[in-house]
Amino acid sequence: MKGKKLKNSAKSSKFSGKSKTILITGSAGLIGSEAAKFFANQGHTVVGIDNDMRQYFFGKEASTTWNRNRLRDLLKDKYIHYNADIRDNEKLKEIFKKHKFDLIIHTAAQPSHDWAAKEPITDFSINALGTLYMLENYRLYSPEAAFIFTSTNKVYGDTPNFLPLVELKTRYELPKNHKYYKGIDETMSIDNSTHSVFGASKVAADVMVQEYGRYFKLNTGVFRGGCLTGPAHSGTKLHGFLAYLIKCIATGTKYTIYGYKGKQVRDNIHAQDLIKAFYLFYKKPTSGKAYNMGGSRNSNTSMIEAISKVEEILGKKAIVEYKKENRIGDHIWYISDITKFQKDFPKFSYDYDNDRIIEDICENGHFG
C-alpha cells in the first residue's frame, strides 16, 4: 500500500561499546527480521538462521523468501545467512563453533495450533527439540550471551476461557473489578487446561529455557507473546491474525471467523515494540524468568472491531464468513499484563497502540 511511511523506532537508540555478534533464528520472519534490522542498524553483525519452513507449513503465500532477500539487500555485510534447520544439531554446532555470540534471539518455530494437529511430531521436534538443541549449543559455546525465547500465551491453554467474561456489543470483556481486568499475568496456571498440540510443544520449550537459566545459571529470558504483528508479517489463514485480516480486505479475499461471533479479543504488540523489550533485556538480563509480553490495555481489539477499523482505513468492505465452531484451545479473551516486565525494566514503553499498528500494516504490509 502507498502512503506516508511511519518512523522506524528501531533506529532510535544506540549500543555503546564495540560491535557485537547477534544470532537470530527465524531471521526472515516477522520478529526475526525486525530484530535483525534493529541490531544491524546499531553496527552489529547479525547471523541469521532461516530455512523458510513457513512455506512448508502454510503454502507459497506465507513464504518468507521475500523478507530474507530484503534483509540481504538492506543489511549487506552486516547480515550472514544460514539456510539451516534448527533440528539439525550438527549444523547448529558448526554455526556456534564458527561465531562467538553476544546475544541469541530464538524465534524459529512452528507457530500454528491448527497446523500442529496435522503433524504433531514435526511441531514438537521444531518447537521443543529444536529449542533444546539451541540451548545446549548456547551453553557449550556462547554461555556469556543472553538468550531470548519467543514463547506464547498458549502456554496457559484455555484457562482464560473460564474467566467470568461478559458479552458486549463488539467484544467479550472482563468486569473492571476482576483481578485480571488489567490483563493476565504470570500467576495464571499452565496446568489442567487444553493447550493445543502447539501450545504443549511451546510449554516444553518455555520451561526448558527457564531451566537452563536457573539450573545452569545462564541469562535466559522467556517472552510469552500475545499477537505479535507488523508489516513484515507474512500473514496466512492459519497464522497472523491482523496481517492476514488486512491482506484479505485489501485483496478482496474472504476472511473466516471461527466461533464467538467475532467478539474474541486479542492484544497486539508491534514487532518494533517487542524488539525494544528484547533490547532492554539484553542490556540487563535476568536469569530464567518468564514474562508476559503483548499489547496489554494499550493495544487490543476484537475481530469485528479490527475489521471495522481496517474497512475505514482502506475504504473497502470486508468479505466475512462466520462459523459457529471455534478452534480447539482458542482464546475468547486474552490481554497481557506486562507489569512484571515493567517492574524489572521500567524504561519500557510502547510506540504503537492498536490503531497505529493497523495503520502501519495497511500502509506498509506485504500482500504479495
Domain CATH code at residue 211: 3.40.50.720
Lateral strand order in the sheet of 21-25: 79-82, 45-49, 21-25, 103-106, 146-152, 219-225, 289-293
Predicted local confidence at residue 1, as pLDDT: 39
Predicted local confidence at residue 329, as pLDDT: 76
Distance CA 113, CA 97 (A): 34
Distance CA 147, CA 284 (A): 12
Predicted local confidence at residue 12, as pLDDT: 36
Distance CA 225, CA 40 (A): 24
Predicted local confidence at residue 336, as pLDDT: 98
Report yes or no on 113 lying in a domain: yes
Predicted local confidence at residue 240, as pLDDT: 66
Residue-range definition of the domain harbouring residue 186: 19-364
Predicted local confidence at residue 269, as pLDDT: 97
Distance CA 26, CA 232 (A): 13
pLDDT along the chain (368 residues), means of 10: 38 58 96 97 97 92 90 96 98 98 98 92 98 98 98 97 98 98 98 95 98 98 95 73 91 95 96 98 97 98 97 97 88 98 98 97 83
- Residue 331 has a CB neighbour count (10 Å cut-off) of 23
Report yes or no on 112 lying in a domain: yes
Predicted local confidence at residue 297, as pLDDT: 98
> Per the structure, how many domains does the chain have?
1
Q: Counting every residue, how long is the chain?
A: 368
Q: In this structure, what C-alpha cell is assigned to residue 219?
A: 541469562
Nearest CA-CA partner of 133 in 32, 200, 64, 212: 212
Amino acid making up residue 183: G
Report yes or no on 1 lying in a domain: no
Report yes or no on 7 lying in a domain: no
Distance CA 251, CA 146 (A): 41
Report yes or no on 56 lying in a domain: yes
Report yes or no on 34 lying in a domain: yes
Report yes or no on 204 lying in a domain: yes
Report yes or no on 12 lying in a domain: no
CB 246 within 8 A of CB 355: no
Helices 30-41 + 65-75 axis angle, to 10: 0
- pTM of the shown model: 0.92
